[in-house]
Amino acid sequence: MGTRIPVSSFQSDQASALFYDGVMFEPWDPQAPGVLTLPSGRSIRGRSLRAQLPDGQLPQLGLYLMGKEPAPMPWTTRWLRWRDFGLPADKRAARRSLEDVWAEAATIRVEIGCPGGRGRTGTALACLAVLDGVQPEDAVAYVRRHYDHRAVETPWQRWYVARFMQ
């Protein structure tokens, strides 16, 4: 599992910037569309890749959940093969990828997206909530409350989240 970074590692210097181990970064605006703030304070943007790129900050890392590799973007991207309404093709790779982006979200702006921005994206965000300490049985409700009320679309996606840490 990825290294967990305690909230106490963060120091606020000004309203829009944080310092982590002496390095400044500007986190997502918590009021921006699609931004999910986790209990630790990490924020991750979820979005539909079919929609226009939101105005404002750009991600520094994007994890894209699609059946085929996405088009290049002007930031670092990672691709996880994940078909619509399904589960990741490689569950071990999915776990590693999600652990990595959870750790990265402590120091850079991370975005997770799929074409619709709800099912796969919501499932991945719920798994990140589990990594962040939300109980697996509460993670889907957490994401629906703080990201999109229709996130995590299928029973097997809910099942995946509930068993993510097993």
pLDDT in tens, 36-88: 999 999 999 999 999 999 999 999 999 999 999 999 999 999 999 999 999 99
Q: Look at residues 117, 116, 104 and name the one whose alpha carbon lies nearest to residue 35.
A: 117
Q: What is the pLDDT of residues 6-50, one digit of tens each?
A: 333 333 434 444 544 445 679 999 999 999 999 999 999 999 999
The model carries a pTM of: 0.86
Ordered domains of the chain (ranges, CATH): 35-162 (3.90.190.10)
Are 64 and 79 in contact, with CB atoms under 8 Å apart?
Answer: yes
Give the ranges where 85-135 is alpha helix by DSSP (H): 91-104, 119-131
